[in-house]
Amino acid sequence: MALKAAGGHGGNVHAAARDLRRPIESLLDFSASVNPLGPSPNVLRALDEGMRLIRHYPDPDSVRLRLILASRWKLAPEQFVIANGSTELIDLIPRALGIRSALIVGPTFSEYGSALHRAGAKDRHVRAARQDGYRPPLEEVVDCFRSGRKNGRRPEAVFLCNPNSPTGQACDQNGLTRLLKEVDRFGAWMVLDETFVEYCHELSQLPSVSRYPRLIVLRSFTKFYALPGLRIGYSVSSARTAALLRQYQPPWSVNVLAQRAAEAAIRDQIHARRSRAYLRRERHRFAKALSSLPGLRLFPSRANFLLLELPKPCRAGAVAAELGRRGLLIRDCSLVPGLTPRTIRVAVRSRNDNNRLVAALAKLLR
């Protein structure tokens, strides 16, 4: 069972279970990078309590959650838009802001391009190079703005994911600051996807939204807070931009259980600290075990997943299919533009699960 990253997404355990004729519980899903410690126990209690509210419509303005987020990030509640996953925001941003052309820093999440196409906008790409270990090519983005001035092809927006998926690399902080200034100077929008930033939260640009009126930061409760099935995420921007984005949301796109779960999740700092500490330790151990496999190349990662390149003549699709037959689902990244046909991505899971994957890969690569 190969879960292909281009166009489709990882984490479709339902389709994998159907194809493999196995119950979902018997599959180890390394294809979606969700916190292996699961949601905070407080979230499960909040969900129990929230059940009494399902006979009412949810608060269409998610006021409670916005107040909690505003106090956490020392911003105004008007600067937050709560949505049905950050995907809802990615989808509506090009339409809400009337973006006609955008630059995507890749190889990256396919939804930026898809959302731009659905809105009738053009996308251009600058891509990190394999020989640079997929370091985000921020200087090239700056060059696009500078040279665009001459040839009239300056993009109206930049989509950048930090740390990036599926490569795992984070932007150099000075380079990112320079880029934010440059994009702002040219009056373009900067959509900064921080879906994976909780694992390196010191890199977050949330405080910069007050400085750059066209910066939109995206956050999610899917990965670090382990709530992919509830669908909840948010954007942080100027209050004016937030009001614009809200106009393009369908009413009640966020349900009451997702709202209550997110409120509990963001409050549980103990679970957050434990999750970060666990990830740091286990990512290091898992990476070390994987790098001992013959011919396997690992790329540096600041997120809760690792990008790997299989040795020649392996093919990502064939290896993903073989592991799938053993109940281990990984991301086949061979169709992601800018990655090689031998590239896969694996989430960092529990120590036991990770050991199972290392053992299975060792057998296949022998």
Ligand X SMILES: Cc1ncc(COP(=O)(O)O)c(C=O)c1O
User: Using the rule CB under 6 A, is 324 a contact of ligand X?
Assistant: no
Give residue 73's Cα distance to chain centre: 20
Residue type, 189: W
Interface mask toward ligand X for 92-131; x: CB under 6 A: -----------------x----------------------
- Dihedral of the alpha carbons of 315, 319, 321, 323, in degrees to the nearest 10: -170
For 185, how many CA atoms within 13 A lie in the half-sphere containing its CB? 10
| Selected binder of ligand X within 36, 58, 77, 85 (CB under 6 A) | 85
Site size toward ligand X, by CB under 6 A: 13
Helical residues (DSSP H) of 106-255, grouped into ranges: 111-118, 138-151, 173-185, 239-247
User: Using the rule CB under 6 A, is 233 a contact of ligand X?
Assistant: yes
User: Using the rule CB under 6 A, is 86 a contact of ligand X?
Assistant: yes
Interface mask toward ligand X for 170-209; x: CB under 6 A: -----------------------x-x--------------
Cβ proximity to ligand X: between 86 and 169 the closer is: 86
- Dihedral of the alpha carbons of 105, 109, 113, 115, in degrees to the nearest 10: -130
The token duo for 177 is: 């600051």
User: Using the rule CB under 6 A, is 87 a contact of ligand X?
Assistant: yes
Cβ proximity to ligand X: between 135 and 356 the closer is: 135
The token duo for 66 is: 């916005």
User: Using the rule CB under 6 A, is 165 a contact of ligand X?
Assistant: yes
Find, among 210, 209, 216, the residue nearest to 189 by Cα. Answer: 216
Q: How far is the CB of 108 from ligand X (least distance, A)?
A: 7
User: Using the rule CB under 6 A, is 169 a contact of ligand X?
Assistant: no
User: Using the rule CB under 6 A, is 228 a contact of ligand X?
Assistant: yes
The token duo for 279 is: 């990830």
4 to 23, contacts with ligand X by CB under 6 A?
9
User: Using the rule CB under 6 A, is 31 a contact of ligand X?
Assistant: no
Helical residues (DSSP H) of the chain, grouped into ranges: 13-20, 41-50, 63-73, 86-96, 111-118, 138-151, 173-185, 239-247, 256-267, 269-291, 316-325, 351-365
* Contact footprint for ligand X (CB under 6 A): 9, 85-87, 109, 161, 165, 193, 195, 220, 222, 228, 233
